[in-house]
Chains A and B, each alone.
Chain A
Amino acid sequence: MKPARALIVVVFVVAASTWASAALASEGPMPQATSGSLEDTRFVVSGFGLAAAAHADGLSGGTGFGGAVAGFFSPVLGAEFSVRLQSFDVAGTDANELSSGTLDAIVVTGNVVARFPTSGKVVPYVTGGVAFYTSDFEIESGLASDLAAFNFTAVDSVENAVGFNAGGGVLFALGRSFGVFGEARYVVASADTTGGLSDQVSGVTREVAGSQKLNNLSIGFGVSILF
């Protein structure tokens, strides 16, 4: 994962969420709940860790972490932007044309969130929307060095992908402005891939196109700050 790319994405998400909050704030007062319940919160900023189970040939693992910002324009509906950094193990297949290695992905989601208010401090929610993958692929370091010893370089790469995500979770308020949550989210996406070798002596390069599904089910746990 390139830090610069992650930083750019995070800045984008923060900026977007800031714009969203400003827009929501301009819409006028919301009905005030008299009890200060979770349904009264307008913004939720979260940080989480996740573990994913890949659901695609050639893909395994998927641990990572991320952050999200959600803004609610009604007690039920809101919008959420999230950025998650996930790392998968990749095995070469006839479909992906890649060699074994690691796929570091930045997943940006833009979702609609629907929460189901209760009278207590527990708020279940569901969410769904689009997912945008941008990935870095690195072959196994052992393979890379072996290839280099014979004057070859792998030219494997994974292209950006757009997919969908959907899931749900439960937020538990631990105080007036703080809570924890757990959620499950399923992401469906497929990325174009390129596998190949380049000969450092003759310059001969051969690339073959493939594809790699990025479907995975992630389980995340995190903390939220409520506004």
Chain B
Amino acid sequence: MIERTRRVGSACGRLAALTRPRFLLPGLLAATLAATPLTSGGAGAAQLQSESPGQLPPVRLAPLSGPVAKVEQLDSRLQQLAAIYEQQGLQEARRFARNSAVPLSIDGMVRVLIHLNATPEFRAQQRRAQMADEAEEVLFEALGQSVGQRVRAVGGVVRRRIRNRIAADVPFRALRQMEGPQEIVWIEPELLPRRTEVVSQGVQVVRADELQRSSVAYQPESSIRVGVLDLGFRGYQGLLGSELPSSVTAQSFSDRGIENTGGDVFDAVHGTACAEIVHDMVPEAQLFFANFDDSTSHLDAVNWLIAQNVNVISYSIGWVNAGPGDGRGAINEDVQLAMSRGITWVGAAGNDARRHWQGTFSDPDGNGWHNYAPGDETNAIFLEAGEQLIVWLNWNDWFSSDQDYDLCILDSNLEILFCSQNAQTGSQVPTEAIGIEALVDGVFHVAINRWSASRDVVLEAFFDSPRQMQYNVPAGSLTIPADTEGSVAVAATYWGDDVIEPFSSLGPTTDGRIKPDIAAPDGVATRSYGDLGEPRFFGTSASTPHVAGAVALMKSRFGVFTLDDIVDILYGRALDRGIAGKDNTYGHGRLDVIGR
């Protein structure tokens, strides 16, 4: 077993542990790994690539030890980011931010969410009686003013407040200065959306072309409006009149503009590709584009689409660590807001069936580490040099947790590289997140530690990596907000054979509802991705606009039906696949506009 010691930050917020070699900066990491014989790493890598998980030797870890004080107000990644900035400078801090999915603003500040506290007396009162929303809003406005002043005092920018959350940009040097005020209960990196596609005839497969060619209509809707909510719409203007309608209405809620200038190129064209499919499905629809950066601008974008009176929203985006997976959470609330205004929300189920793990915490030997299998305390994954791994962990103790669990990534020698050690003392969300970039080929290990908890929670982890991890549980891999009750969650079937894509996320939701709701084709051609050398658009991202377009097409032709009627009609007409009836893989089946 490998001995290690660890100290974490005191209540004053200083992370002494960050001075220890364990929390290696990427530069030092490279030196360490270079000293490790590549053959062992290579052999381990070859093992993980070629053998089944059951054939890998089990891994045992030594218990963590050391002082138990944690920083309660600052997310573990922000703590480490601050320390790296202080010790290594801005460049290394930015690298860490990128590897750990900590978003930065265009002008280089850290984008954070500040969760407001209230006085202990208020919180006790709130628990005793249901406080009216209006009174609560007045209180949060006052708290927000106070916290906003602090943000500005340290050189930061307040972007906006939504109830008890303040979105702000804070300079690296000022991260630790945000700790302390009682008005703040938790500061975390802003939540980030993930596009749900693995970049790659749908219209014909679902027989929408037959309806398009026919002139049949019954009380047709003269003006059908579809909103596409995404990360970027690069190049859309060049497609007007061909792959897109001759004109669209677009509004950006992103600092990078409607084309996501400077952002990841595949993120930037994602919305355009989705819009192409919507237009293919329902050429007569008016299209409305809105893009956003994060959970805060997300609400602005949704409100704008509501104001445009769209009938349907096509949403090929997924989130993790944004809620308990039972339909609740900030992003889910945005979806519910749109649906309350009569909008049909069609969203991707996610592409995480092969990147998902979940299980109940199990520690038979009492050393604090979760056992993925008897005697095996890590979930291993091989990475080539340059590949990234980000792991997102959450557990079933939303939204204020007192069950403290931590997440660590270890190298092939089982040395801890980074740990996410957020405090969960009753006010913080039950999440951890950590990321690395491999500088050399090697096997890395993901481990979960119980820091302080009174029960064994149900853990859930998402692995953002091009590689398959050792232990994978596809069930329950739905991303947020596909879990929202009443929304339409879409799975992906390959257009050529109607078989579910192996990455298409599965249900059920954590409260036991069957999801996804329907499946639709992927692997289809788009101009946007074709121009990037990706002839096929794969993923639930591609499937979702087929369903959104089908809803809009049916509504435009058969306006007598309500949107809910049309969703039920499409569910009824879906070609049943998989096990009979609605299931957690295909939902009601593969989309078919005509039915039998």
Interface residues of A (CB under 8 A from B): 92, 97, 99, 143, 146-147, 149-152, 154, 195-197, 199-204, 206, 208
Interface residues in B241-257 by Cβ distance below 8 A to A read none
Q: Tell me the smallest distance from the CB of A104 to a CB of chain B, in Å.
A: 21
Residues of the B chain whose Cβ atoms lie less than 8 Å from the Cβ of A92: 219
Question: In the complex, how many angstroms separate the beta carbon of A138 from the nearest chain B beta carbon?
Answer: 15
List 3 tightest A-B contacts by C-beta distance, closest first. Answer: A202-B572, A201-B595, A146-B216
B307–chain A nearest beta-carbon distance, Å:
26
How far, in angstroms, from A92 to B559 measured CA to CA in the complex? 13
User: Does B571 contact A202, Cβ atoms closer than 8 Å?
Assistant: yes
Among A149, A204, A206, which residue has its beta carbon within 8 angstroms of that of B216?
A149
List 9 interface pairs A-B (beta carbons < 8 Å), by A numbering. A154-B218, A197-B218, A197-B561, A201-B569, A201-B595, A202-B568, A202-B573, A204-B568, A208-B560
Residue pair A199, B218 in contact (C-beta under 8 Å):
no
| B562 in contact (CB, < 8 A) | yes
By a CB distance below 8 angstroms, the chain A residues around B219 are: 92, 97, 99, 195
Measured CA separation A147–B214 after assembly (Å) = 10
The secondary-structure label for the interface of chain A is: mixed
In the complex, chain B residues whose CB is within 8 Å of the CB of A151: 573, 594-596
0 or 1 for each of B145-181: is its CB under 8 Å from A? (1 = yes): 0000000000000000000000000000000000000
Bitwise, B550-591 to A at CB < 8 A (1) or not (0) is 000000001011100100110111000000000000000000
- Contact yes or no, A146 B215, CB < 8 A: yes
How far is it, in angstroms, between the C-alpha of A99 and the C-alpha of B568 when the chains are bound?
23
B218 near A152: Cβ-Cβ < 8 Å: yes
CB distance from B479 to the nearest CB of A (A): 28
**B211 CB–A CB distance under 8 Å:** yes
Contact (Cβ within 8 A) A201 B216: no
Q: Find the B residue at minimum CB distance from A196.
A: B560
A150-B211, A203-B572 known; A197 and B594 CB under 8 Å?
no
Known: A149-B216, A197-B561. 17 other contacts (CB 8 A): A97-B219, A97-B560, A147-B216, A147-B218, A150-B594, A199-B572, A199-B573, A199-B595, A200-B595, A201-B569, A201-B596, A202-B569, A204-B565, A204-B568, A206-B560, A206-B561, A206-B562
Residue of B nearest to A99 (CB): B218
Nearest chain A CB to B566 CB, angstrom units: 8
Are A195 and B572 touching (Cβ within 8 A)?
A: no
Quick one: closest A residue to B558, CB to CB? Answer: A197
With a cutoff of 8 Å between Cβ atoms, the chain A residues found around residue B568 in the complex are 202, 204
CB contacts (< 8 Å) of A152 on chain B: these are 218, 558
Chain B residue with Cβ nearest A94: B219
Q: Closest residue of chain A to B588, judged by CB?
A: A202
> In the assembled complex, how far is the CB of residue A151 from the closest CB belonging to chain B, in whole angstroms?
5
Which residues of B have CB within 8 Å of A201?
A: 569, 572-573, 595-596
The listed residue (A97, A150, A199, A206) touching B214 by CB distance below 8 A is A150
A140 to B211, CA, bound (A): 19
A78 to B594, CA, bound (A): 60
CA distance A146 to B569 in the complex (A): 18
List the A residue with the shortest CB-CB distance to B595: A201
In whole angstroms, how far apart are the Cα atoms of A150 and B569 in the complex?
12
Q: What residues of chain B lie closer than 8 Å to A149, measured between beta carbons?
A: 214, 216
Residues on B with beta carbons closer than 8 Å to the beta carbon of A150:
211, 214, 216, 594
Q: Which chain A positions have C-beta within 8 A of B558?
A: 152, 197
- Cα–Cα, bound, A33→B569 (Å): 74
Bound-complex Cα distance A206 to B565 (A): 8
Contacts of A154 in B (CB 8 A): 218
Give the nearest-CB partner of A202 in chain B.
Answer: B572
Most chain A Cβ neighbours within 10 Å, of B218, B560, B573, B596? B218
Q: How far is the CA of A68 from the CA of B446 in the complex (A)?
A: 94
Tell me whether A143 and B595 are in contact (CB under 8 A).
no
Query: How far is A203 from B211 in the complex, measured between Cα atoms in Å?
Result: 19
Q: A149-B216, A150-B594 are in contact. Are A204 and B560 (CB under 8 A)?
A: no
Tell me how far the C-beta of A86 lies from the nearest C-beta in chain B, rounded to whole angstroms.
26
Verify B560–A197 contact, CB threshold 8 A.
yes
Once bound together, how far apart are the Cα atoms of A206 and B572, in whole Å? 15
Q: Which of B219, B558, B571, B572 has the most CB atoms of chain A within a 10 A radius of its CB?
A: B219
| Distance between A15 CB and nearest chain B CB, rounded to angstroms | 42
Interchain CA distance A136-B561 in the complex, whole Å: 24
Tell me the bound Cα distance from A147 to B211 in angstroms.
10
Distance of A52 Cα from B346 Cα, bound (Å): 51
Instruction: Produce 1/0 per residue, B399-429, CB < 8 A to A.
Output: 0000000000000000000000000000000
Cα distance A154–B217 when bound, in Å?
11
Shortest CB distance A208–B (Å)? 6
**A-chain residues with CB within 8 Å of residue B572 when the two chains form the complex:** 199, 201-204
In the bound assembly, the distance between CA atoms of A151 and B594 in angstroms comes to 7
Name B214's closest neighbour in chain A (CB-CB).
A146
The CA-CA distance from A97 to B571 in the complex, in Å, is 26
How distant is the Cα of A182 from the Cα of B568 in the complex, in angstroms? 57
Docked Cα-Cα span, A204 to B218, in Å, equals 15
Complex formed: what's the CA distance from A154 to B216 in Å?
12
The smallest C-beta distance from A101 to any residue of chain B, in angstroms, reads 12
A residues less than 8 Å from B565 (CB atoms): 204, 206
Those of B200-249 within 8 Å (CB) of chain A: 211, 214-216, 218-219
- Of A146, A151, A199, A200, the most chain B CB neighbours within 10 A belong to A199
Docked complex Cα distance between A149 and B595 (Å): 10
CA distance A13 to B558 in the complex (A): 43
Q: How far is the CB of B340 from chain A (nearest CB, A)?
A: 21
B592 closest partner in A (C-beta) = A201
A206 cross-chain contacts in B, Cβ below 8 A = 560-562, 565
Q: How far is the CA of A161 from the CA of B556 in the complex (A)?
A: 33
**Which residues of chain B are near A196, meaning CB under 8 Å?**
560
Q: Closest approach, in angstroms, between the C-beta of A135 and any C-beta of chain B?
A: 20
A206 to B566, CA, bound (A): 10
In whole Å, how far is A66's beta carbon from the nearest beta carbon of chain B? 33
A146 CA to B219 CA, complexed, in Å = 14
Residues of B within 8 A of A97 (CB): 219, 560
Q: Complex formed: what's the CA distance from A195 to B561 in Å?
A: 11
Bound CA span A214–B219, Å: 21
Q: Chain B nearest CB: distance from A11 CB in Å?
A: 38
Alpha-carbon separation in the docked complex, A147 to B572 (Å): 17
**Are A195 and B560 touching (Cβ within 8 A)?**
yes
Tell me the smallest distance from the CB of B281 to a CB of chain A, in Å. 16
Please indicate the chain B residues that have their CB under 8 angstroms from the CB of A199 in the complex: 569, 572-573, 595
Q: What is the minimal beta-carbon distance from B262 to any residue of chain A, in angstroms?
A: 46
Q: Which of B346-377 contact A (CB under 8 A)?
A: none
In the complex with contacts A197-B558, A202-B569, A143-B216 CB distance below 8 A: yes
Which residues of chain A come closer than 8 Å to B215, judged between CB atoms?
146
Which residues of chain B from 311 to 329 have a CB within 8 Å of any chain A CB?
none
Which residues of A lie under 8 Å from residue B595 when comparing CB positions?
A: 151, 199-202
Considering the chains assembled together, what is the distance between the CA atoms of A139 and B111 in angstroms? Answer: 61
Q: How far is the CB of B481 from chain A (nearest CB, A)?
A: 26
Q: Which residues of B contact A99 (CB under 8 A)?
A: 218-219
Residues on the A chain within 8 Å of B211, using CB? 150
Compute how far the CA of A92 lies from the CA of B560 in the bound complex, rounded to whole angstroms.
12
